[in-house]
């Protein structure tokens, strides 16, 4: 896994959803109930921008048709049969980092 710093995120404890570009990917960084999450920014249902959504009960809600995705895994709620990509995210010395699996990570883990 390769880790990338994500500048410009100020952690205040307030909930937020911020779209960033990391290694060419559109990713949303989500702060919700004192935890950080990182998901793909495009809704798999019909392509909506998920940074306009909101969080509720551990899920990200798409602003267009209100499909919902688990903040930790990106898995769609029952009946949706879809998912958004999820990424590792952590704080190092006050800065947010996103971890993206490389091609070789997938080869060796079989994901
Ligand atoms: S575009 Fe997101 S639920 Fe339809």
pLDDT score for 110: 67
Q: How far is the CA of 74 from the centre of ligand 1 (A)?
A: 14
Distance of CA 40 to CAs 6, 31, 86, Å? 15, 14, 6
Closest atom of ligand 1 to 43 CA is: 2
9 lines ligand 1 (CB under 6 A): no
Q: Which two tokens stand for residue 38?
A: 């990182």
Whether the CB-CB separation of 18 and 26 falls below 8 Å is answered with no
Q: Which two tokens stand for residue 106?
A: 């997938």
User: Residue 71 in 3-state DSSP?
Assistant: coil
Q: Whose CA is nearest to atom 1 of ligand 1?
A: 46
pLDDT score for 1: 92
Compute the chain's Rg from CA coordinates.
Answer: 14
The chain-wide mean pLDDT, for the chain, equals: 94
What integer is the mean pLDDT of 86-110? 89
The share of the chain scoring above pLDDT 70, in percent, equals: 98
pLDDT score for 11: 87
What integer is the mean pLDDT of 11-23? 93
When pLDDT is cut at 50, 70 and 90, the band that residue 105 belongs to is: confident
More confident residue, 54 or 11: 54
Whether the CB-CB separation of 5 and 100 falls below 8 Å is answered with no
Question: 35-79 pLDDT, tens per residue?
Answer: 999 999 999 999 999 999 999 999 999 999 999 999 999 999 999
64 lines ligand 1 (CB under 6 A): yes
User: Residue 70 in 3-state DSSP?
Assistant: strand
Closest atom of ligand 1 to 67 CA is: 3
Tokens 């306009």 belong to which residue? 52
Q: Which two tokens stand for residue 8?
A: 């410009």
Domains in the chain, start-ordered, CATH in brackets?
Answer: 2-109 (2.102.10.10)
Closest atom of ligand 1 to 66 CA is: 3
């Amino acid at each position: 896994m390769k880790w990338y710093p994500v500048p410009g995120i100020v952690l205040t404890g307030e909930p937020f959803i911020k779209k960033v570009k990391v290694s060419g990917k559109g990713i949303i960084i989500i702060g919700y109930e004192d935890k950080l999450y990182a998901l793909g920014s495009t809704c798999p249902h019909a392509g909506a921008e998920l940074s306009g959504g909101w969080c509720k009960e551990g899920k990200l809600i798409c602003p267009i048709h209100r499909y919902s995705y688990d903040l930790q895994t990106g898995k769609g709620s029952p009946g949706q049969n879809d998912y958004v990509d999820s990424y590792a995210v952590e704080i190092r010395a006050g800065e947010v980092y996103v971890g993206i699996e490389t091609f070789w990570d997938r080869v060796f883990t079989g994901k």
